[in-house]
């Protein structure tokens, strides 16, 4: 390879050298290992509002090639225009020369190169500051603050079409003196400056987070699943109390599901001074982590009440449970994920309802019997009240129809969100009662869900709702098809 370096300006030379380096990194690896797609993420304090991403396939690919950004994320149930904050897309041939780049007028795609050319690398910028201003749901946006970068994978990483299932090697370049942590393989104490990690595919990369900065408080608490707490707070917080509650929640949830499917779990806890017109009420699950982007007033302190502590602990447990349901057992439409357009999913009632009930059962399990019963009944009463408060037109929807509506409106019109998770959780509670009753308390919904997790791991695919009764019966010996069928019907005729 020969390029006249003296004919390149400084910026072009820097991009060329980065492209070569990233390509070589992608080709590196142990003998016999599948060559990885190489990603590099760079944040320079001098460019305070943005980050830069470079990626290169293991070998140059024939043009035209499409670079695709996400317009949503698993469990987000909304269309999010992440591509609107990407700019400066530059594609290069193996000799470092620039290739034509054309943005799709409607979709989150860039067409790279022309027929007969080869694409060796791609660079682009992501304006994170504009993203946070433009996306008002705090948990859906990455953030750059003084001494802190909290970056959601799906909001900053794009992929080359056709390479979604390839192994990925990620290199993170943080500002000098900044600790950097990725949930792909969180290390405590964190690395400084330059950190590397691997992902099995684009889904795992996209569903990970990169956290940097001296304002981060990073600790690890040992357990069956080690817990990494990464806290960024713009005011007072009792970090020890937050960590203790998260540790207890993870222990309870892990005991309920009964396995240890990931090496560690990371809590990304952001406690923020609210921006005007922004919402801070939601949290978000990931494969082996959770993003909790909350208003500073939600921070726990020595003055927090027992009710506030309980609310925070259950929120941790709820989203931790989602790392099993639906991350590891899911219905049609959830995976493989449709990155360019919000997927329509018929089984959000399972994702959100069974996940919520699992968290309820997990947190109740360690209590004395009377307290356990009281806790469960209080939670179920709250769910029934949500259903009673639903508008009649929502109660007239079948569960599948409501799930399709919630595919787009879960948080934007939370009437759909509340109704779908309440109906799903109450279905789960009724199934739990049936299994306990007919098995003489020898079995419960816990056994059914563990059976579903085993089925999902063995089959490697999404389940159809029609398959659930047989999967549950195989695990428990109890038939529940009539319960599932009844809950699928409208609540009002």
- Right CATH number for 336-493 from 1.10.357.10, 3.40.50.300, 3.90.1300.10, 1.10.390.10? 1.10.390.10
pLDDT of residue 46: 85
Look at residue 7 and tell me whether its pLDDT is greater than 80: no
pLDDT digits (tens, 9 = 90+) for 301-336: 999 999 999 999 999 999 999 999 999 999 999 999
What is the per-residue pLDDT across 402-445, written as a single tens digit (0 to 9) for each? Answer: 999 999 999 999 999 999 999 999 999 999 999 999 999 999 99
Mean pLDDT computed over 98-113: 97
Q: How far apart are CA 437 and CA 231, in angstroms?
A: 43
Report in angstroms the alpha-carbon separations of 203 from 52, 70, 199, 287, 338: 20, 11, 8, 9, 10
Phi and psi at residue 107, to the nearest 5°: -95, 175
pLDDT in tens, 191-222: 998 999 999 999 999 999 999 999 999 999 99
Threshold 0.85, pTM exceeds: yes
Decide: helix, strand or coil at residue 484: helix
How far lies 37's CA from each of 48, 224, 373, in Å? 27, 32, 51
pLDDT given for residue 48 in this prediction: 80
CA distances for 452 relative to 160, 462, 463, angstroms: 33, 11, 9
Superfamily of domain 216-323: Neutral Protease Domain 2 (1.10.390.10)
The pair phi, psi for residue 43, each rounded to 5°, is -130, 125
Question: Which residue intervals of 390-461 are DSSP H helices?
Answer: 392-395, 399-409, 414-438, 445-459
Give the per-residue pLDDT at 32. Answer: 55
pLDDT at residue 15, as a whole number:
40
How confident is the model over 41-86, as pLDDT tens digits? 999 988 889 999 999 999 999 999 999 999 999 999 999 999 999 9
- Residue labelled with tokens 């889904």: 203
Where do the DSSP E strands lie in 241-347?
265-272, 283-285, 289-295
Q: What is the pLDDT of residue 493?
A: 84
pLDDT in tens, 153-166: 999 999 999 999 99
Distance CA 38, CA 197 (A): 10
Q: How many CB atoms lie within 10 A of CB 390?
A: 21
Domain spans of the chain, in order of start: 5-211, 216-323, 336-493
CATH of domain 5-211: 2.60.40.3650
* Radius of gyration, alpha carbons of the chain: 24
Name the residue with tokens 């070589």: 24
Q: Please tell me if the domain spanning 216-323 has the same topology as the one spanning 336-493.
A: yes
Q: How many CA atoms lie within 13 A of 153 on its CB side?
A: 30
**How much of the chain, in percent, has pLDDT values that exceed 90?**
91
Q: Whose structure tokens read 């990073």?
A: 218
């Amino acid at each position: 390879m020969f390029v006249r370096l003296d004919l390149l300006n400084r910026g072009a030379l820097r991009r060329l050298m980065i492209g070569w380096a990233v390509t070589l990194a992608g080709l590196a690896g142990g003998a016999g290992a599948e060559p990885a797609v190489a990603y590099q993420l760079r944040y320079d304090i001098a460019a305070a509002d943005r980050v830069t991403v470079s990626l290169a396939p293991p070998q140059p690919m024939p043009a035209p090639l499409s670079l695709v950004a996400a317009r949503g994320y698993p469990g987000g149930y909304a269309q999010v225009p992440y591509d609107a904050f990407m700019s400066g897309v530059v594609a290069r041939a193996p000799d470092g020369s620039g290739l034509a780049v054309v943005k799709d007028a409607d979709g989150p795609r860039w067409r790279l190169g022309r027929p007969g050319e080869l694409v060796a690398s791609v660079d682009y910028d992501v304006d994170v500051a504009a993203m946070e201003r433009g996306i008002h749901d705090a948990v859906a946006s990455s953030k750059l603050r003084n001494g802190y970068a909290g970056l959601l994978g799906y909001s900053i990483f794009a992929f080359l079409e056709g390479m979604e299932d390839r192994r990925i090697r990620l290199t993170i370049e943080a500002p000098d003196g900044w600790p950097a942590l990725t949930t792909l393989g969180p290390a405590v104490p964190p690395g400084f400056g330059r950190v590397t990690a691997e992902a099995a595919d684009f889904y795992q990369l996209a569903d990970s987070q990169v956290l940097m900065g001296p304002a981060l408080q990073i600790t690890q608490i040992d357990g069956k699943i080690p817990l990494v707490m990464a806290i960024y707070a713009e005011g007072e917080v009792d970090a020890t109390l937050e960590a203790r509650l998260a540790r207890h929640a993870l222990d309870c949830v892990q005991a309920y599901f009964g396995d240890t499917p990931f090496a560690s779990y990371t809590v990304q806890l952001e406690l923020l001074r609210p921006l005007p017109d922004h919402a801070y009420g939601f949290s978000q699950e990931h494969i082996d982590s959770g993003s909790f982007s909350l208003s500073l007033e939600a921070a726990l302190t020595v003055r927090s009440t027992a009710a506030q502590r309980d609310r925070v602990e259950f929120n941790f447990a709820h989203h931790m449970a989602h790392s099993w349901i639906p991350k590891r057992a899911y219905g049609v439409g959830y995976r493989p994920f449709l990155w360019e357009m919000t997927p329509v999913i018929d089984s959000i009632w399972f994702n959100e309802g069974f996940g919520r009930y699992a968290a309820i059962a997990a947190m109740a399990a360690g209590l004395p019997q009377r307290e356990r019963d009281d806790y469960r009944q209080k939670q179920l009463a709250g769910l029934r009240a949500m259903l009673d408060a639903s508008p009649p037109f929502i109660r007239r929807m079948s569960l599948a129809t409501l799930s399709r509506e919630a595919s787009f409106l879960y948080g934007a019109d939370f009437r759909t969100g509340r109704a779908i998770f309440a109906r799903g959780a109450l279905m789960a509670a009724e199934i739990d009662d049936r299994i306990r009753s007919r098995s003489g308390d020898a079995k419960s919904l816990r056994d059914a869900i563990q059976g579903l997790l085993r089925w999902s791991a063995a089959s490697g695919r999404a389940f159809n709702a029609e398959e659930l009764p047989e999967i549950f019966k195989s695990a428990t010996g109890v038939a529940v098809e009539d319960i599932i069928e009844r809950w699928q019907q409208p609540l009002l005729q």
